[in-house]
């Protein structure tokens, strides 16, 4: 099992200190080679769930394992190490660094784990070529369209071949053709490389290609 989560709970604090309960005990397992789609209405907690699993935010309760390691209770530095080595996260809002070119944004992942620069650069440009953004390699994020930024963010997330890929609406800004390229890539990551892929999406064609489709409903994950 690449990912296992048990009893994840999260309540935010809203204006005036009012509690905003979002997750009420989420259980989840994703195996290597499995593509799991997660749907749910806007505000149902899909991004919150990915943030907990991606170790960007601590759950109020519950446990998370990546591979054999219980990562939910590690310290910040150790969690950073796990994120860099094992998790690729495609953010809903891209989160590209404004001062770096598209290529350098993609290469950030490699720099972080100290990978050989020439090797990483070759890989990065190959990926960017497949995603149709290689011709924008030297552009800054502000000089890219939303869909181009999204594809660059995808390249950054998968460059290090993480065992777990978390993709939050990775086709949200894309036309059908480019959406299909990303879905094909995610599918191939799971099928050919044994990656565990968790995909938040509203696209029915994306869910149709998933091995399992789950839905966030009232703070819990249910089969869809």
Interacting residue ranges for Mg ion, rule: CB under 5 A: 46-47, 92
Q: Is the dihedral of CA 55, 157, 195, 147 positive or negative?
A: positive
Binding site partner of 45, from ligand ATP, Mg ion, none, Cβ cut-off 5-8 A by kind: ligand ATP
Among 4, 6, 12, 134, the residue binding ligand ATP under the rule CB under 6 A is: 12
Which helix (H) or strand (E) element contains residue 76? helix 76-86
Residue 18 binds ligand ATP (CB under 6 A): no
**Residue 47: closest CA among 90, 17, 14:** 90
The site map against ligand ATP for 134-173 (x = CB under 6 A) is: ----------------------------------------
The site map against ligand ATP for 79-108 (x = CB under 6 A) is: -------------x----------------
Check: CB of residue 183 under 8 Å from CB of residue 209.
yes
User: Which stretches does DSSP call E strand in the chain?
Assistant: 3-13, 19-30, 35-39, 61-66, 69-70, 87-90, 164-168, 196-200, 212-217, 220-223
CB neighbourhood size of 58 (10 A): 15
Residue 40 binds ligand ATP (CB under 6 A): yes
Q: Which range of residues in 41-49, 75-83, 105-113, 187-195 is near ligand ATP by CB under 6 A? A: 41-49
Residue 59 binds ligand ATP (CB under 6 A): no
Instruction: Give min distance, CB of 29 to ligand ATP, in A.
Output: 21
- Tell me the two tokens of residue 85: 């080595």
Q: CA-CA distance, 84 to 171, in Å (whole number)? A: 23
**Residue 216: closest CA among 64, 26, 1:** 26
Binding site partner of 14, from Mg ion, ligand ATP, none, Cβ cut-off 5-8 A by kind: ligand ATP
Instruction: Give min distance, CB of 47 to ligand ATP, in A.
Output: 3
Determine the 3-state secondary structure of 11 from DSSP.
strand
Binding site partner of 20, from ligand ATP, Mg ion, none, Cβ cut-off 5-8 A by kind: ligand ATP
Residue 14 binds ligand ATP (CB under 6 A): yes
Query: In the complex, which residues of this chain contact ligand ATP (CB under 6 A)?
Result: 12, 14, 20, 22, 40, 42-48, 92
């Amino acid at each position: 099992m690449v990912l296992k989560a048990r009893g994840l709970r999260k309540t935010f604090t809203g204006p005036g200190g009012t509690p905003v309960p979002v997750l009420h005990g989420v259980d989840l397992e994703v195996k290597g080679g499995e593509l799991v789609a997660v749907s749910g209405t806007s505000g149902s907690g899909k991004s919150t769930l990915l943030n907990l699993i991606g170790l960007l935010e601590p759950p109020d309760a519950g446990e998370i394992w990546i591979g054999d390691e219980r990562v939910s209770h590690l310290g910040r530095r150790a969690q950073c190490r796990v994120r860099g080595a094992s998790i690729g996260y495609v953010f809903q809002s891209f989160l590209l660094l404004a001062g770096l070119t598209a290529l350098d944004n993609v290469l950030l992942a490699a720099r972080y784990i100290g990978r050989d620069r020439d090797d990483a650069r070759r890989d990065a440009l190959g990926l960017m070529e497949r995603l149709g953004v290689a011709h924008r390699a030297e552009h800054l994020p502000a000089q890219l369209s939303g869909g181009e930024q999204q594809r660059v963010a995808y390249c950054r997330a998968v460059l290090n071949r993480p065992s777990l890929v978390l993709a939050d609406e990775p086709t949200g800004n894309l036309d059908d053709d480019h959406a299909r390229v990303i879905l094909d890539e995610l599918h191939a990551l799971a099928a050919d490389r044994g990656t565990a892929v968790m995909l938040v999406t509203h696209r029915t064609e994306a869910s149709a290609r998933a091995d399992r489709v789950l839905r966030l409903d009232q703070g819990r994950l249910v089969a869809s």
